[in-house]
Amino acid sequence: MAPRKEKKPQAVYTLLVDVGRKPGDGLPDGAVGAALMCFAAGVDEAEAVRETVAILKQAEMAPLDVTGYGTLEEREAQGHEIGEDERALMARAAAENAVIVAQMAPFFDEGTHEGGHA
């Protein structure tokens, strides 16, 4: 009998995802994009990122960039203050093996620059 492969335990990763505009994305009128703070379950950060990007695309969003901030333990070791609300959402992401969007901050063009990057 073949040995059973041990299933790696999942962790919850904190990810900051920048999204652009796409029809049907649900962002407010006038927004040019948004930053989404997500808690995503995965066996490693790469899996958490892949799952998050896939789910955001299914939700008609346009993910552009993802920054990982690590697990709860890694964030605590870096001195991040993590409130009870965040901890509850992380626990829910772990329990449901899910991606949870905890916060959304839309970006609005201030009109101070045109045509992209200088």
Whole-number Å distance between alpha carbons of 66 and 115: 23
- Residue 64 structure tokens: 């552009």
The per-residue pLDDT for 33 is 96
pTM comes to: 0.84
Arithmetic mean of pLDDT, 82-88 = 95
Q: Which stretch of DSSP H or E encloses residue 14?
A: strand 11-20
* pLDDT tens profile 23-41: 999 999 999 999 999 999 9
Whole-number Å distance between alpha carbons of 81 and 58: 32
Residues in contact with 77: Cβ distance below 8 Å, sequence separation at least 6, in sequence order:
none
pLDDT band, very low/low/confident/very high, at 94 (cuts 50, 70, 90): very high
